[in-house]
């Protein structure tokens, strides 16, 4: 069986989004157990020039939609970034999982060789679909996923490597 964009992206995104749900659940439970205003964690960041937890989760979600739509030759749907609570972040992650479930995966057929143009520089940067997925899409997804995990861990939430990796 060949390694395709669909076989690479979909399981990667689904597994990690489910792991993110667990990480966010632990964050909410920690805030409740320690009598911390949950908005403190939702708005927490690791450094002043870094996005807070809520924006990291939004960017995980945005990356999934953008990558799949670009590879599938579809318009990327716009989603409002209005989440302010753990419950709203969970709804955002579930909506992303629902998006993947409803996504026309047949549109990914042959996308390994589709040209994806990133808005970098004056002329943009053209990448084939495989390079786009492996060198931009998945790394960007994990960058924001890891930032969300690290923000909660830094704030005392008991999460570890297996929480980040998720269940097989």
Query: If you write DSSP's letter for every residue of 75-95 in order, what string do you get?
Result: PPPP------SHHHHHHHHHH
In a 10 Å sphere around its CB, with 0-12 CB exposed, 13-18 middle and 19+ buried, how is residue 18 labelled? middle
What's the residue count for the chain? 168
Tens digit of each residue's pLDDT (9 = 90 or more) over 91-102: 999 999 999 999
Q: For the chain, which domains are there?
A: 5-163 (1.20.120.450)
Tell me the per-residue pLDDT of 15-58, one tens digit each, with 9 for 90 and over.
999 999 999 999 999 999 999 999 999 999 999 999 999 999 99
Quick check: 1 pLDDT over 90?
no
Average pLDDT, the chain: 96
């Amino acid at each position: 069986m060949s390694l395709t964009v669909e076989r690479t992206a979909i399981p990667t995104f689904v597994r990690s989004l489910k792991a993110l749900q667990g990480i966010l659940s632990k964050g909410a439970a920690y805030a409740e157990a320690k009598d911390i205003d949950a908005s403190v964690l939702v708005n927490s960041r690791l450094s002043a020039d870094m996005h807070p937890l809520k924006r990291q989760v939004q960017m995980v979600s945005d990356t999934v939609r953008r990558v799949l739509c670009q590879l599938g030759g579809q318009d990327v749907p716009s989603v409002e970034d209005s989440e302010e609570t753990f419950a709203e972040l969970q709804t955002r992650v579930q909506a992303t999982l629902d998006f993947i479930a409803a996504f026309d995966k047949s549109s990914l057929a042959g996308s390994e060789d589709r040209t994806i143009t990133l808005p970098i520089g004056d002329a943009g940067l053209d990448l084939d679909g495989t390079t786009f997925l492996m060198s931009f899409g998945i790394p960007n997804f994990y960058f924001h996923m890891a930032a969300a995990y690290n923000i909660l861990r830094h704030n005392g939430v008991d999460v570890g490597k297996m929480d980040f990796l998720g269940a097989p």
